[in-house]
A and B are shown apart, each in its own frame.
Chain A
Amino acid sequence: EDKVVQSPLSLVVHEGDTVTLNCSYEVTNFRSLLWYKQEKKAPTFLFMLTSSGIEKKSGRLSSILDKKELSSILNITATQTGDSAIYLCAVFSGGGADGLTFGKGTHLIIQP
């Protein structure tokens, strides 16, 4: 059974801090790992990491895939209150027909 574990489950920091969110996975036939940001609505796509693209960056957000450790991290630098959200990690495996296996998410709260 595919498994995705995120840590921490919740995190409270002050504006301007840097945070690192963790995701580890155990899946058959890994294809890609995705990060989503979820506020009070549907998840919105942040990054996709595959075996051929193990590091992505967009503004203050960056993510790295560690194929050896079967894990990924999502970094957010100079955090802002607008970064407060649930961050979801998910893994596509097999033929994609089974959908994504999601972790339970990290609830990030940025205090002013």
Chain B
Amino acid sequence: NAGVTQTPKFRVLKTGQSMTLLCAQDMNHEYMYWYRQDPGMGLRLIHYSVGEGTTAKGEVPDGYNVSRLKKQNFLLGLESAAPSQTSVYFCASTTAYEQYFGPGTRLTVT
């Protein structure tokens, strides 16, 4: 039981490049989330999903897209990366009350 995993762990992009972050969970959770964490800002919700095939916007969705084609996977895409998207990205999946976090992806956009 690996819990929540994220790939890649680190990435450096140039402005305008695109990439996809992959989150996978093996706990059969319905709900999955993408957060970003910036210094002094805490964790902020980007997008979330309440089940396979569904997605919804969170607090800071602009510049990101997501897909949940399979229950165990939740993908976060950046179509045209900007320096403001430099951050640490955490994926999480949840039971009714507790969230389990992945190890994070550190993304730098130059």
- Complex CA gap A45/B95 in Å reads 13
Contact of B102 among A31, A42, A98 (CB under 8 A): A42
Closest to A6 in B: B42
- What secondary structure prevails in chain B residues at the interface with A? strand
**Partner of B104 from A42, A97, A102 at Cβ < 8 Å:** A42
Give the distance in Å from the alpha carbon of A103 to the alpha carbon of B90 in the complex. Answer: 16
Q: How large is the interface on B (under 10, 10 to 19, 20 to 34, 35 or more residues)?
A: 20 to 34
What separation, in Å, do the CA atoms of A12 and B58 have in the docked complex?
34
Given A31-B97, A34-B98, A41-B103: A99 in contact with B40 (beta carbons within 8 A): no
The reply on A85 being an interface residue by CB < 8 A is no
Query: Is B43 among interface residues, defined by CB-CB distance under 8 A?
Result: yes
Tell whether, in the assembled complex, residue A50 and residue B97 are in contact, meaning their CB atoms are under 8 Å apart. Answer: yes
**Which of these, A48, A99, A103, contacts B48 with CB under 8 Å?**
A99
Instruction: Check B74 for interface membership: any CB of A closer than 8 A.
Output: no
A25 at the interface (CB under 8 A from B): no
- Dominant SS at the A interface? strand
Residues on A with C-beta less than 8 A from B48 are 97-99
Q: Does B45 contact A (CB under 8 A)?
A: yes
Say if the beta carbon of A32 comes within 8 Å of chain B: yes
Pick from A31, A32, A88, A100 the residue with the most CB of B within 10 Å.
Answer: A100
| Bound: A94/B102 CA distance, A | 24
CA distance A92 to B99 in the complex (A): 10
B96 within 8 A of A: yes
CA distance A104 to B44 in the complex (A): 10
Could you jot down 24 A-B contacts, CB within 8 Å?
A: A34-B98, A34-B99, A42-B104, A43-B90, A44-B101, A48-B97, A48-B98, A88-B42, A88-B43, A90-B43, A96-B97, A97-B31, A97-B56, A98-B45, A98-B48, A98-B58, A99-B45, A99-B58, A99-B92, A99-B94, A99-B99, A104-B41, A104-B42, A105-B42
